[in-house]
Amino acid sequence: MRRCWRARPGGAERARRVAQLCRASGHTEAAGTAALEALARGVPGAALERARLLWAREQQHAAIVRLQEARRPPRLNTVRGGLRAMAQV
């Protein structure tokens, strides 16, 4: 049985690179999926790649907001902060 790239060792970093390649070739849906996978796995640079994808989709405001949120640590000690952090995943 073939294993998908997500299950292989190093798959998390590979997800970020797949997002980068898909975005560069114009496949924004595939890039979005791969970027979210990399974000979920905590890959360094995944937030930047997600922001670049949003920028390429002409969603500049959302890209800037995502970068600002990536710089802040998640606030999970309050109900409001916890819901906001959960909604971003």
Question: How confident is the model at residue 54, as a pLDDT?
Answer: 92
Number of domains in the chain: 1
Its domain, for residue 54, covers 11-88
Residue 3 lies in a domain: no
Residue 1 lies in a domain: no
pLDDT tens per residue, range 20-69: 899 899 898 999 899 889 988 888 888 999 999 999 999 999 999 999 98
Torsion angle, alpha carbons of 81, 82, 88, 89, to 10: 160
pTM confidence score:
0.65
Residue 6 lies in a domain: no
Higher pLDDT, 73 or 83: 73
Residue 47 lies in a domain: yes
- Exposed / middle / buried, residue 35 (Cβ in 10 Å: 0-12, 13-18, 19+): buried
Question: How confident is the model at residue 76, as a pLDDT?
Answer: 61
> What does the block give as tokens for 81?
């902060």
Whether the CB-CB separation of 45 and 70 falls below 8 Å is answered with no
